[in-house]
Structure 1
Amino acid sequence: MSKLPNIGTSIFTVMSKMATEYDAVNLSQGFPNFPVDKRLTTIVAQLASENVHQYLPMAGYPPLLTKIAQLTYRSYKRTIRTDTEILVTAGATQGIFTTIQALIKSNDEVIILDPSYDCYEAPVLLCNAKPVRVPLNDNYTPNWEKIENACSSKTKMIIINNPHNPTGKIWIHSDFEALENILQKYPEMIVLSDEVYEYITFEKKHISAHTRENILNRCIIISSFGKSFHVTGWKIGYLIAPEHLMKEIKKVHQFLVFSVNSICQVAISNYLDLVSVEEISQLYIEKRNYFCALLKESRFKLLPCEGTYFQVASYASISNENDVDFCKRLITEHGVAAIPISTFYENNKDNHLIRFCFAKDNATLEKAAKKLCAI
């Protein structure tokens, strides 16, 4: 009998498979197709012949833990302890899964804000806990009245995603103030803050949970080197949490993966001496602006993108069909793959919106845009 009877093949897998079958331009899955920074690949090439291929300490490569602490201080002015508050993970998804498995018990409730990424719900269900899906407002800001109404004595965790996938929305100060007010009323509730796109923001500066003193003792923050440094296939991220929560998370981590890819950890540790995170935002703001300019004459209406490397677009002026069918036809008839936004909702809410990934080289964006503008 299935432990996840209502969870099937991911929409990302479905659309990428169709894109391959129909030789479509794949703007569906969220991974870059342009070359990795040569400084990083040079480091990897040098390390390949060095003694960096055996198990590292369970929590992570000690010099990398130090670099993460330094990066967190530079970015957010937060001081963290390398020995008790940082854990290197096999990607952000593993960090999220491990955290939920460690801290959520049977019959607990976990608030998930829709539209939401699909890796949040499954680990909650595997804990025999209850995911409570609360929709965001139509402009993708949090609806704090609905969120508070969804809270109860059973609520153990709220999962937040900022910058937000799939919409690119960024929280403002009043959102955190509202969250802090709720946490005061529910002292047992903790926050899981998914911030994997923290360094991919544009006109608005990302406000991290790292900067909110009132919640740090109750907050686990997830980050991703894969997203930040365009090496998604490395599956390497990290999480930061207070010691009393980290102790429990490490108990699960040691039996799930024990330790993370050694050469990748050493490579990123060395790379952090060379790279500036400010370079990341500049790269992607150029990608976003270029992609938007290419689609200016199309019939798609582009929604604001404040962060991430995703662009949400309305096709309402093109078709009345549901977004899943539209995305499938977009592949089969027009040769471009995108993701339907309804699949991020518990109730499959369909606003005729789809998500494009613009983390692609210019030639790919131009090829896709030519096809999209012809619709």
Structure 2
Amino acid sequence: MIFKKGELFSGPGGLSLGAKMAQLIDPETGKQLKDWGIEHRWANDYDPDACSTFRLNICDKPDDSSVHCGPVENLPIGDKSVLGDIDCFSFGFPCNDYSQVGEKHGLDGKFGPLYSYGVKVLRQYQPKFFVAENVGGLQSANEGQAFIQILLELKDCGYILTPHLYKFEEYGVPQARHRIIIVGIRNDLADKGIHFKVPAPTITTPSEYRTSYDAITNPPIAEDASNNELPKHTKKVTEMLSHIPPGGNAWHPSIPEHLRLKVKGAKLSSIYKRLDPNRPSYTVTGSGGGGTHMYHWSELRALTNRERARLQTFPDDYVFVGSKESVRKQIGMAVPPKGAQIVFEAILKSFAGIQYDWVEPSFDIDALKEKQQLILEELSSEHKQMAFNL
């Protein structure tokens, strides 16, 4: 069975590359079942460079018309003469308003409500399954109400949901990146016995996690690799870095007073933080000013975009289009393809009836609904008490 996939908020193609790489292996023969897989049908993103990257790598055509570049608000969702029919759907809806770094507006922010376009696709197309992705901070946005509301709307589209907080370092990704992924199987298919289970971590001992050193150096990055331009720094920055040990940051006590940052308030641990070569990297991000570019454990510099792409498990022949800052943003906002591949392969196994190791999901929707009701009751009591006091 070949599933044709549509995608919103596709970025440079992390989810789609994971889907494209997903294979189904016959447990008896050990051979790939080539009549099972996931193929790209259409995609949308508002970032022109990300769309160009997607076309070049996922579609193999720099001008492929199946990638619709522009605001999702302008996309003719439901018009199958433009967006053809699909069997499955993925969307990493924008995380800006749910991230732990930022103002955390949740559903009240500019980007928070954009998940609703994914809901619209599900109602219009009723694909067999979907995969939705967002940051771990989604579970606490709007005092937990945003996550519950999104889950209930997705469920009401006619799906059995399995939401889980994936810690990607437990799946071979050389990065401590924790993301909520929601897998939905259409109700009628679930009634026929197709049930998705969270794939068990492939690595259970932290000492066996893939390190940033291994990811960046094994094999060495070719001299002519794309997106691998070395960054430039001021003399003061390189001198400061020389006093920061692997794993340390801009507030390490070994930094001389005259080189220390004159910053008041919170001291973010990722500012001028150097990688620890013996551990997975900290989370690759797509934005931020000076000091947020991730720093090499031994060389006095920030990482190149190709090194960041390796931490995100993009292969070296995956070429990113755009300026250095645009490429940095694309890489940081993407889903690690290797992590996505594991999820998509578990979905294929679920449809094929192939058993695999699994774990209980992080979230129980019924328990979350009860929590929501308690929050609403507490808010109601507070309002009544305020009225009484007045």
* TM-score normalised by structure 1 residue count: 0.36
Higher-Rg member (1/2): 2
> Larger relative contact order (C-alpha < 8 A, sep ≥ 6)?
1
* TM-score normalised by structure 2 residue count: 0.35
